Amino acid sequence: MRKESFDFLEKYLNTHSPTGFEKEGQKVWLDYVRPYIDEYFVDTYGTVVGVVNPEAEYKVVIEAHADEISWFVNYITKEGYLYLRRNGGSDALIAPSKRVIIHTAKGPVRAVFGWPAIHVRKTEQDKAPTIETIFLDCGAASAKEVEEMGIHVGSVVTFEDELMQLNEKYLVGRALDNRVGGFMIAEVARKLKEEGKTLPFGLYIVNAVQEEIGLRGAEMVAHRIKPNVAIVTDVTHDTQSPMYEKKTAGDIHCGKGPVITYGPAVQNNLRDLIIAAAQEKGIPFQRAAATRATGTDTDAFAYSNAGVASALISLPLKYMHTTVETVAEADVLNVIELIYESLLRIEDQHDFRYFK
């Protein structure tokens, strides 16, 4: 990975962008992608779309989501402790002893998820942490002191962890789900521009908000753009680490390439075009099967308007919705290459229907 790209990835991942509050991360993303697009727009809820060839009638989307899981302050005790509720799929099990940032109008406030020491617990009666038992300590001794710090019910909370590299092969941190996707589609835009590729259609590089609470940003922007084609990228579970059951979760490896999904929301001809691109260019890839839905923004695009030919290219990831989400750098580069090569195979007015 070139240094400038890594610097962008690091800055983008380290910028907190909780669901519903993605503004700062979206600014970082737009600043990077701006030289590689013709124009852009930002919708009411913060989805950012960079456009190449905006006058073209035929429209192709490449998309990722920008938001990360987080928490809301939900209750403040008279002693100054904070209880929370989830904003997205936040995991209470991993919370105790983690450091967090509470985002306030006065600026960031640091806090910790406290937890009683092992010495004072009856360990034989220990139960897993739940949303009802985890709490934040922001160093306040009363509810009034909490209020004076700018914290109130509804203040949003994110984990503090930042990007690191592991064994010179892996990228580790919070919010790789799915700001690494935003990075990848931005790199596709850069590659197209720097290699002088002229596409015969309008390309819409979509960094959508609010995926973690129901694909909401993609749902809104799909109706605005009305695309003909959508290639979505998100993360999927590496199933090699302990506690996965491959019979139900599939056999997916970090380091063995992008994952191409089969399922009702995936348009078969578009999927096969992507597979052909991978095979022709020697890009390693894996296959996965979805059931009723992919659980990604693919579903929002596929079933929007009169139906949009949609496909999903996923990045294998370990430890989803933790602060140590882990991906292989080689997979990141191969997803970028696969989206790029797939775009070069889509024609103006490309008809993906199964029969006529």
Q: What is the mean pLDDT of residues 296-311?
A: 98
Structure token digits, residue 114: 């406290």
pLDDT score, position 188: 98
**Torsion angle, alpha carbons of 41, 44, 48, 51, to 10:** -30
How far is it, in rounded angstroms, from Cα 18 to Cα 209?
A: 9
What confidence score (pLDDT) does residue 256 get?
Answer: 98
Closest to 308 measured CA to CA, from 338, 336, 261, 266: 266
Q: How far apart are CA 46 and CA 208, in angstroms?
A: 8
Best CA proximity match to 331, nearest among 252, 266, 255: 255
254-268: pLDDT as tens digits: 999 999 999 999 999
**pLDDT reported for residue 185:** 98
β-strand pairing of 107-113 with 70-76: unpaired
Return the pLDDT at 71: 98
Cα(136)–Cα(68) distance, integer angstroms: 19
Distance CA 356, CA 112 (A): 60
Q: Which residues pair with 164 in a beta bridge?
A: 172
Q: Residue 157's beta-bridge partner residues? A: 71, 102
Rounded distance, CA 243 to CA 203, Å?
A: 40
**Residue 180 near residue 315, CB atoms below 8 Å:** yes
What pLDDT digit, counting tens, does each position of 16-38 carry?
999 999 999 999 999 999 999 99
Beta bridge partners of 208: 65
pLDDT in tens, 132-187: 999 999 999 999 999 999 999 999 999 999 999 999 999 999 999 999 999 999 99
Q: Where are the beta strands (DSSP E) in the chain?
A: 39-42, 48-52, 59-65, 70-76, 81-87, 99-104, 107-113, 136-137, 156-159, 164-166, 170-173, 202-208, 229-237, 259-262, 286-289, 309-317, 325-328
> Which pLDDT belongs to residue 356?
92
pLDDT at 251 (0 to 100): 98
Distance of alpha carbon 200 from alpha carbon 183, whole angstroms? 24
What is the DSSP-derived secondary structure letter of residue 35? G
User: For residue 209, which of 218, 201, 222, 197 has the smallest C-alpha distance?
Assistant: 218
Q: Tell me what pLDDT residue 327 has.
A: 98
Tens digit of pLDDT for each residue in 49-101? 999 999 999 999 999 999 999 999 999 999 999 999 999 999 999 999 999 99
Q: Which residue in the block uniquely carries the two structure tokens 């024609």?
A: 347
Q: For residue range 98-132, what is the model confidence (pLDDT) as tens digits?
A: 999 999 999 999 999 999 999 998 899 999 999 99
pLDDT at 312: 98
How many CB atoms neighbour CB 61 within 10 A?
26
Which pLDDT score is estimated for 65? 98
Q: Which token pair is 263?
A: 């399922």
Q: Name residue 25's amino acid.
A: G
Q: Given this model, what pLDDT does residue 171 score?
A: 98
Q: What does the pLDDT look like over 188-236, one tens digit per residue?
A: 999 999 999 999 999 999 999 999 999 999 999 999 999 999 999 999 9
Place of tokens 């600026």: 107
pLDDT over 90 percentage in the chain: 98
Q: Which 8-state DSSP code applies to residue 88?
A: S
